[in-house]
C-alpha cells in the first residue's frame, strides 16, 4: 500500500483547528456553568461516546473496532488511559468551573516535563542535559507556585500527571489501535460511570439538561461531540506534519487558556506567580530548542 504523501498545509490547518477548539474549552465550560461540573462531565462522556460511534460508522470500521476488545494487552493499556482521562476531564472541568483557569493551563504547560519524568521512572530512559535542566526548572517553579498559592497546585499537578500517564498508555497502543477506536472504547468503559454519576446528580435534584430549553441541552451535547472532533482532526494532522512541529504546537492550547484566564476570566496574577510561570516557560524553551536542534541534526 502506497503511503499517502504529506500535505503540510492541510496538516497545519487541521492541527491549528484542533488546538483552537481545545483552547476554547474554558469559555464553553463557563457558558455551561448552569450545570454542575459533575453533570458537564456526564454529558461529555455520553455524547462523546455517541460521536465516536458516528465517526466509526462513517469510516465503516466497526469490525476493526470490535477486534480491539479481543486484544487483552491493548485493553490493559486502554483501561489505564480510561482511568486517567476520567481524572483529567473531571479535574479540568472542576478547575474551570471554580475560576482556576490559569492553574489548569499550568497543568498542560508542565505536562511535557511530567512526560520526561515518566520516561525515566517507568521506561528507564536516560535524559539529555537539556531535559535535566528543563525538569529542574519545572520543579523549582512548582515550589514557587506552591508558596504563592499557599498549597500545592493540585489542579495543575493532577492534570499534568493524569495526562502524562494517558499519553504513556496511548503511546503503547498507537501502533495497533487508532486514536478514534481507543477514544471510543474509553467512553464505552466510562459509560456506566457516567450513568452512576447522572443518578447521583439526579438524586440531588441537580440535573439541568432539560431545564434551560434547547440551547442548554444543545450546549451540553455539543461539548461532548467537541471532545471527539479535535482528536480526529489532530490524528490526521499529525500524519502530515514533522514531529518537531507537532511538539511545538502542543503549547498552543495552554497558551490560549492562560491568556483567557487573565483577560476573559480576570484571574489574579501576583508577581510571585509570574516568576513561577516564567520558570516553566524557560524550561519549555530549553526543551523546544533541544528538540529543534536534534531534529535539524537528524535531517542533516
pTM of the model: 0.87
pLDDT score of 174 more than 90:
no
Per-residue pLDDT tens over the stretch 107-121:
989 988 888 888 888
Per-residue pLDDT tens over the stretch 78-97:
999 999 999 999 999 999 99
What 3 state SS string does the chain have? CCCCCCCHHHHHHHHHHHHHHHHCHHHHHHHCCCCCHHHHHHHHHHHHHHHHHHHHHHHCCHHHHHHHCCCHHHHHHHHHHHHHHHHHHHHHHHHHHCCCHHHHHHHHHCHHHHHHHHHHHCCCCCCCHHHHHHHHHHHHHHHHHHHHHCCCCHHHHHHHHHHHHHHHHHHHHCCCCCHHHHHHHHHHHHHHHHHHHHHHHHHCCCCCCCCCHHHHHHHHHHHHHHHHHHHHHHHHHHCCCCHHHHHHHCCHHHHHHHHHHHHCCCCCCCHHHHHHHHHHHHHHHHHHHHHHHHHHHHHC
pLDDT score of 2 more than 50:
no
Domain ranges of the chain: 8-299
Amino acid at each position: 500500500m502506497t503511503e499517502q504523501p504529506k500535505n503540510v498545509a492541510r496538516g497545519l490547518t487541521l492541527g491549528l483547528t484542533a488546538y483552537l477548539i481545545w483552547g476554547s474549552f474554558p469559555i464553553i465550560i463557563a457558558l455551561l456553568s448552569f450545570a454542575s461540573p459533575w453533570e458537564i462531565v456526564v454529558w461529555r462522556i455520553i455524547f462523546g461516546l455517541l460521536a465516536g460511534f458516528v465517526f466509526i460508522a462513517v469510516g465503516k470500521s466497526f469490525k476493526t473496532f470490535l477486534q480491539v476488545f479481543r486484544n487483552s494487552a491493548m485493553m490493559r493499556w486502554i483501561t489505564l488511559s480510561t482511568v486517567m482521562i476520567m481524572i483529567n476531564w473531571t479535574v479540568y472541568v472542576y478547575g474551570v468551573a471554580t475560576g482556576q483557569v490559569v492553574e489548569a493551563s499550568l497543568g498542560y504547560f508542565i505536562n511535557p516535563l511530567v512526560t520526561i519524568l515518566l520516561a525515566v521512572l517507568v521506561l528507564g530512559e536516560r535524559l539529555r542535559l537539556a531535559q535535566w535542566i528543563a525538569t529542574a526548572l519545572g520543579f523549582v517553579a512548582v515550589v514557587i507556585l506552591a508558596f504563592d498559592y499557599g498549597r500545592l497546585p493540585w489542579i495543575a499537578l493532577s492534570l499534568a500527571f493524569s495526562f502524562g500517564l494517558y499519553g504513556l498508555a496511548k503511546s503503547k497502543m498507537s501502533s495497533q489501535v487508532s486514536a478514534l477506536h481507543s477514544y471510543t472504547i474509553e467512553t464505552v468503559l466510562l459509560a456506566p460511570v457516567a450513568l452512576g454519576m447522572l443518578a447521583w446528580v439526579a438524586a440531588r435534584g441537580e440535573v439541568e439538561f432539560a431545564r434551560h430549553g434547547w440551547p442548554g441541552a444543545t450546549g451540553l451535547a455539543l461539548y461532548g461531540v467537541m471532545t471527539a472532533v479535535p482528536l480526529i482532526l489532530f490524528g490526521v494532522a499529525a500524519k502530515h506534519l514533522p514531529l518537531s512541529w507537532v511538539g511545538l504546537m502542543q503549547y498552543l492550547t495552554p497558551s490560549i487558556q492562560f491568556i483567557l484566564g487573565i483577560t476573559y476570566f480576570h484571574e489574579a496574577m501576583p508577581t510571585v506567580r509570574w516568576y513561577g510561570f516564567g520558570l516553566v516557560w524557560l524550561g519549555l524553551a530549553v526543551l523546544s530548542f533541544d528538540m529543534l536542534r536534534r531534529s535539524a541534526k537528524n535531517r542533516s
